[in-house]
Structure 1
């Protein structure tokens, strides 16, 4: 018997999966990644259906990529991948600013990124 999920259920399953995957990251990256994911999922709560499809595809690809990277015997030294110039060219100005802010947060000393 196959189970059919509503869109909301699929979003929740993906969101919870991402949060579980983030537990495998170093503490600094876990905080940044979890906060970023939380903000993005909240921001896209009422997006257009076409945008929701793109959003879900991109976050699903992220979850798959992170699961593969974390699956390598717990080695967190090689997490992440570079961005191609074609990809960077396709980003909107707002997305470039958001990416820059994420880069600043990820390279800041731990005391500036953690609220512990």
Structure 2
């Protein structure tokens, strides 16, 4: 991995963790753990996957910064965003399962019923 790319990855990761400080404690723990696992999991990915990974996490940073506002969640927009159906359709089964596991963790371990 080239030094410039490594610096960008570290900066993005640190920015995510810094933004997570503005989240409620439970969400911060989940978010920090999820980000850590994802960055570790993608250390050895190919160039195409790296581009998508960096792009999506950058979009997350921008969205979270907008939602948190200048002085935290009380001044920002509603936290979270619904996923588009097209994005879900493009996910692999293991990615959908990981997303569901994250949803269960975020809702305090309660299973979420599927839509009718």
- What do you get for the CA RMSD once the two structures are aligned? 1.6
Superposed counterparts of 1:1-116, under 5 Å: 6-71=4-69, 73-75=71-73, 78-108=78-108
Larger RCO of the pair (alpha carbons < 8 Å, separation 6+): 1
Gap runs ≥5 in structure 1? 110-116
What's the secondary structure of 2:7's corresponding residue?
helix
Q: Shift in Å at residue 72 of structure 1? A: 5.9
What's the secondary structure of 1:86's corresponding residue?
helix
> Structure 1 CA distance, aligned partners of 2:50 and 2:97?
21
> Structure 2 CA distance, aligned partners of 1:67 and 1:15?
14
Q: How many residues align?
A: 105
4+ residue segments displaced more than 2 Å: 72-77
Structure 1 length-normalised TM: 0.85
Gap runs ≥5 in structure 2? 110-116
